[in-house]
Chain A
Amino acid sequence: MDFAGAYSPDNLRFLADGLKLTLYVAAVSIVLSFVFGTIVGTLRYMRVPVLSPVLAVIVETLRNLPLLLIIFFIQFALPEIGFKFTVTAGVITALTLFEAAMISEIVRAGLQSIPKGQTEAARSSGLGTYQTLRYIVLPQGLRRMVPPLVSQFISLLKDTSLAVIVALAELMHNAQIVMAQNHNYPIPILLLIALVYFAINYTLSLLSRRLEARTT
C-alpha cells in the first residue's frame, strides 16, 4: 500500500475532475428521472385506458433488468438501429429511464396510500379530476414519498459508477485509471473514493431523516 504515491496532487486533481462529472450526471439524471417518474407514476395511478397498461409493461421491464445492461445497450446496441448518443448523453438517458421506472413506482404507491375518502370528498365538493389530484392527493402523497425518493436518489448517485462500462470519465472510471498505474494503489484509492461517495450519500440520508421528522 502506497498512500503518499496514490494521493499525489496529480492523482487527486484527476479524481476531482471525475467527481465533478459524477455530480453533474447524477444531478441531471435526478431531475429528469423525478420529472418523468412523477408523470408516469401519476398516469398509472389514474388508470388511463391503454396508456397505463403500456406504461406498466415498460416500467416492469426496466425495473427488472440490470442497469449495467441498459447503460451498455444504449451506448453500443442502439447505434446499430440508428440511435447514436455521446457517452454522457447515453449514460444520462440510461440512468433516467431506469430510475424514472423506480420513481414511478414510489409515486404510484405514495398516491395510492392516500385514503379514498379524500378523493371522494374532493370530488363531491365539486373539484375536477385534475384539481383533486393537484390540490388534494399530490400534496399529501409527495410528503410520504420523501424518504423513499431520497434513498432512490442515493442509489442513483451510487449507480453512476456503473458508467465505467462505457468509459465515461466519472469518479469510478478515473479511479480505475489511477489504480492501474501501480499495484500498491488500489486499496488507498478505493478507500478514498468510498469515503467520498459515503460523505455525499450519508449527508443526503441525514437530510432526508430531518425532512421526515419535520413533515410527520
Chain B
Amino acid sequence: MLDFSILTNHLPEYGEGFLNTIKASVFALLGSFVLGTIIAVFRISGFKPLRLIGAAYVEFIRNIPILIVVLFFFLGLPSLGFKLDGFQAGTLGLTVYTAAFIAEAIRAGIQSVPAGQTEAARSSGMTYMQTMLHVVLPQAIKLVIPPLSNQFINLIKNSSVLTIVSGFDLMYFADIISSETYVTFSTYIFAAVFYLLLTLPLSFAALALEKRLARSA
C-alpha cells in the first residue's frame, strides 16, 4: 500500500519543506515569546489603557481562526502597499496568533510570583522595569516553560497553514510531490511521519518536564 519510491525519489523536496516548517516555527516561537511577554506586562500594568490594550489583543486573537491572521498579512497588507511572500506572511501570522496564547501563559506565571517580591524590590529602590526584569520575570519563567513547550508543538502543527498561502512548508511540498506523481496516499503518509518526527519527541519531553516540575513544586 505504501509506495516508498515516493520518499526516496523526493527526499530533497521533503527535506526543504521540513526545514522551512522548522524555520517558520522557530522564528514564530522567538517572535511570539517577545511579543507575548510585552502583552503580558501590559495586561498586569498599573496603567489602565495598557491593561485594556493587552486584554483586547488576547481576547480578540484567541477567538478568531489563525487563518484570518495569516490572510491579513498575505492579502490585507498588500492592499495597503506592503507586499509579503507566503513564508513571511505565514510566519508573521503565526507569531501574532501564538503571542496571544503565550501572553496568557506568561501572565499566569507572573501573577504566581508573590506580591511581597515586587514590594520588596520596589522598596529597595528598583523601578517597575527593573523589578520586572530582575525579580519577577526570572521567577515566573519556571512556571511558563511547560505551557510554552505545548505552544511550540501547536506552532509546528499550525505552521501547516503556510500551505494555504504557498509558504513552502512541509505540506506545501507534499502538495507539489503529489501533483507531480499523482500519488496522494503515500505522499501524505510520509509528510505525516515528518510532522510526527517533530511533534512526538516534543510532546513526550513536555510531559516529562511537567511531571518533574509538578514533583519539585
Binding site for B on A (CB under 8 A): 1, 60-61, 63-69, 72-73, 76-78, 80-81, 154, 158-159, 161-162, 164-165, 172, 176, 179, 183-184, 186-187, 190, 193-194, 197-198, 201-202, 205
CB nearest neighbor in A for B163: A68
| Selected A-B contacts with CB under 8 Å, 22 pairs | A64-B157, A65-B157, A69-B195, A76-B178, A76-B184, A77-B189, A80-B185, A81-B1, A154-B63, A158-B64, A158-B65, A159-B65, A161-B65, A179-B75, A184-B79, A186-B71, A186-B78, A186-B79, A187-B76, A187-B79, A190-B76, A205-B63
In contact, A202 and B63 (Cβ under 8 angstroms): yes
* A65→B200 CA distance, assembly (Å): 9
A191 CB → nearest B CB, Å:
9
Does residue B191 face the partner (Cβ distance < 8 Å to A)?
Answer: yes
Does B63 lie within 8 Å of A162, measured CB to CB?
no
Residues of the A chain whose Cβ atoms lie less than 8 Å from the Cβ of B203: 60, 63-64
Residue of B nearest to A151 (CB): B62
Tell me whether B191 and A69 are in contact (CB under 8 A).
yes
* Nearest 10 A/B pairs, CB to CB: A66-B160, A201-B63, A64-B199, A161-B65, A186-B75, A158-B65, A77-B185, A66-B157, A80-B185, A68-B160
Q: Is the interface of A mostly helix, strand, loop or mixed?
A: helix
Least Cβ–Cβ distance between A213 and chain B, in angstroms = 18
Q: Which residues of B contact A (CB under 8 A)?
A: 1, 59-60, 63-68, 71-72, 75-76, 78-80, 153, 156-161, 163-164, 171, 178, 183-185, 187-189, 191-192, 195-196, 199-200, 203
* C-alpha gap A164/B76 in the complex (Å): 18
Q: How far is the CA of A179 from the CA of B64 in the complex (A)?
A: 18
In the complex, how many angstroms separate the beta carbon of A90 from the nearest chain B beta carbon? 13
Q: How far apart sit A205 and B163, CA to CA, in the bound complex (Å)? A: 30
A166–B80 Cα gap in the complex (Å)? 29
A-side contacts of B171, CB under 8 Å: 66, 68-69, 72
| Given A64-B153, A190-B71, A198-B64, 16 new contacts (CB under 8 A) | A60-B200, A64-B199, A65-B192, A68-B163, A68-B171, A69-B171, A69-B195, A72-B171, A77-B185, A158-B66, A172-B67, A176-B71, A184-B79, A186-B79, A190-B68, A205-B63
